[in-house]
Amino acid sequence: AIQKQNTAPHVLSRRGYDRTTNSDEHLDAFLTQTILYTNNDVILCHVFPTSLKGATLTWYGILPPRSIDSFDTLVKHQCAVHN
């Protein structure tokens, strides 16, 4: 029998998004990779910042506490600021 390995999504090792590339493409790549492991909204919100760097990671870090209630809200905020 084949055993399922419990591994983190490969997105964690990717070069982070820093506004020098297309944010829609980054989001598509992030979701394509993470959905292989989970579609849990809370987990997506917690894993998403691991795909950011530079100014976008700083932006994420200064979001007010409890301002994100879903991954959809996080994406809307991110797109509004970085597109």
Q: 18-35 in b/e burial notation, b at 16+ Cβ within 10 A?
A: ebeeebeebbebbbebbe
More confident residue, 21 or 47: 47
pTM value is 0.71
Average pLDDT (38-49) is: 92
- Residue 1's pLDDT is what? 53
44 has pLDDT over 90? yes
Q: What's the CA gap between 21 and 45, in Å, rounded?
A: 21
